[in-house]
Amino acid sequence: MKATKFIKPKAIKELYHNYCPGCGHGIVHRLVAEVVDELNIRDKTIGIAPVGCAVFAYDYWNFDVSEAPHGRPPAVATGVKRVLPDRIVFTYQGDGDLAAIGTAEIIHAANRSENITVIFVNNTVYGMTSGQMAPTTILGQKTLTTPYGREIYKDGYPLKVCELLSVIEGTKYLARGAVTNPKNVALTKSYIKKAFVNQIENKGFSLVEILSMCPSGLHKSPVESIEWIENELVKYFPLGVIKDV
Amino acid sequence: MKKILQGNIALCEGAIEGGLDAYYAYPITPQNEISAYFAEVLPKLDKIFLQVESEVAAINMVFGSALTGKRAMTTSSSPGISLMQEGISYLCACELPCVIVNVMRGGPGLGNISGSQQDYFQSTRGGGHGDYYTIVLAPFSVKEIYEFAKKSFLLAEKYRNPVLIIYDGYLGQMMEVFDTETQEGKLEIKLEKDIDKSWILDGAKNRPPRKIRSLLMAEGELEKFNLKLKEKYDIIKENEVRVEFYYVDDAEVCLVGYGMSARVCLEVVNNLREKAIKIGLIRPITLFPFPYKEIFEISKKVKKFLVVEMNLGQMLEDVRIATNGNAEIFFYGRAGGSLVSADEIINKIKEIIN
């Protein structure tokens, strides 16, 4: 049997990251880096980091990265891509960034079919600010600011971003993956790759939503976080390709 | 070439001459001529024009284009500029050069759509959160709007700092004849060295990756950066003050005004000088940096100042700081989109002299 050697992607720096034990960001960062390596686009990629835990992505990826104000990565990415259309531009955003404060920016970037790639990490809580309710927190889920569980009449429903964006004609590729087990990780990577290839082929707006673990914010162990996503969260946020045109 | 242009269109032509690459904006009165003009002209020049979903998006698109080293601009009017303040704070923190234009209208709130100068404080005190400044230019003629728009990108790049051009809705709508070839030279930008572009993000080809960010979490790191910014602002204060004087040497009363107010003041000065009444005018062209030293020098001789603004007394505070108790300071202002009138200024002068 041929041994597979585990090699660090060139698109990741030789650094330890600051994420909590069991956090999914490290896996998603690596998947993006592997795709960037495989497509040989490291020297023309510009990433836009969000506000939230993943703001530090600019320290970990080994290509050009800028921060953006909270929720505004799609607008910043638009400003980059419009003047440098031959570069590969992507945003990396959490659920608070993309689905709460940045809803206007993501919907209009999608509607213009900006030729960018969006990596949307959905862990159902605000991780950096200590675990408040996110727009994607599911009904009944307890967080710092929903101590009795999320209630429909007070807090509304969890926002299904892919399904919401799917009715916008400008969206060309929408998929939802998870990074909870090797099979899901491999599938998620294939979605991310497709979302970058689409941009290279000038197809327009592509977004991959990724269900990811935030043990600190969820107040669960890393293993419990994975089990909760696989047993509960996927019921509300089903995995798979949602749109591919 | 001689042209007759509206202020807002002169801004567009000046910006294109100055090398504008990308323009992003959201509709708001009284500056809609700008986006209409750019929508037609920029695509023909292979430049970017985008009408976007909000002023928040517009300023962040400016941020995106600016971080690639391209010359990006947005324009708006007072309420829209308020929405951009978060973005402006980030632009200053990330030291990204760009040009922002505020064609001021009456406020607060939705206010009205007449010209005003009620955003002086917001413009000159940073406007958003944190310790920062934008370079603020206050043209008072269509010609100056053209020239400042043309030169402002270079000024922004020289200091890696946003430049804010502010004028009121009246000046934006006004038409004047001017010559695009002759330079008035009020905003010559001296470059001691070439513009540094070693920070731009355009893909890490044959160079190490770069990052642009304003989050500085390590102990003491942010204060160190704040001090670096202060050093930059001190250099700007030293090098970039622009101010014009009219008959100040023997003036009994010195008017102080900028933009549209200065135009009305100048009419008053010319009128009263014909009658041998000794009135002068100080016209700050840069509002940040403000001509504190220059006004202080004049306050050693002139003992009465009349500040004229289309607000209820904002630059007034800077004139008080500048004169440092040397002179008596009077104020005449109109707010809510009302224009200052020459007759009312003359009446005020008479009160002061008697």
What count of other Cβ atoms lies within 10 Å of the Cβ of residue A42? 21
Let me know if residue A5 belongs to a domain. Answer: no
Number of domain units in chain A? 1
* CATH code (residue A93): 3.40.50.970
Question: What's the whole-model pTM score?
Answer: 0.97
- Each residue of B129-166: pLDDT tens digit? 999 999 999 999 999 999 999 999 999 999 999 999 99
B213:A67 CB<8 A: yes
**What is the pLDDT of chain A when averaged over all its residues?**
96
Let me know if residue A166 belongs to a domain. Answer: yes
CA distance B297 to A66: 45
Q: How far is B152 from chain A (nearest CA, A)?
A: 20
A77:B214 CB<8 A: no
Let me know if residue A16 belongs to a domain. Answer: no
- Each residue of B231-263: pLDDT tens digit? 999 999 999 999 999 999 999 999 999 999 999
| Domain range for A73 | 25-244
Q: Is residue B138 classed as helix, strand or coil in its secondary structure?
A: coil
- Each residue of B313-339: pLDDT tens digit? 999 999 999 999 999 999 999 999 999
Let me know if residue A15 belongs to a domain. Answer: no
pLDDT at A161 over 80: yes
Cβ proximity of A220 and A123 under 8 Å: no
In chain B, what residues touch A80 (CB-CB under 8 Å)?
64-65, 67-68, 201
Q: Is residue B208 classed as helix, strand or coil in its secondary structure?
A: coil
Give just the sign of the alpha carbon dihedral A66, A71, A74, A76: negative
Let me know if residue A6 belongs to a domain. Answer: no
> Two tokens at A241?
């390709």
Let me know if residue A9 belongs to a domain. Answer: no
The mean per-residue pLDDT over the stretch A143-150 comes to 97
CA distance A135 to A137: 6
pLDDT at B185 over 90: no
In chain B, what residues touch A84 (CB-CB under 8 Å)?
68, 202-203
Residue B85, chain A, CB below 8 Å: the answer is no
Let me know if residue A128 belongs to a domain. Answer: yes
Q: How far is B43 from chain A (nearest CA, A)?
A: 12
- Kindly indicate the confidence band of residue A89, based on its pLDDT and cuts at 50, 70 and 90: very high
The enclosing H or E element of A122 equals strand A117-122
ipTM above 0.95, yes or no: yes
- Kindly indicate the confidence band of residue A1, based on its pLDDT and cuts at 50, 70 and 90: low
- Hey, what domains does chain B have and what are their CATH numbers? 2-179 (3.40.50.970), 244-353 (3.40.50.920)
Q: Is B125 exposed, middle or buried (0-12, 13-18, 19+ CB in 10 A)?
A: middle
pLDDT at A15 over 90: no
Let me know if residue A145 belongs to a domain. Answer: yes
- Each residue of A64-76: pLDDT tens digit? 999 999 999 999 9
- Each residue of B193-219: pLDDT tens digit? 999 999 999 999 999 999 999 999 999
What part of B 204-233 touches A (C-beta under 8 Å)? 204-206, 209-215
B205:A43 CB<8 A: yes
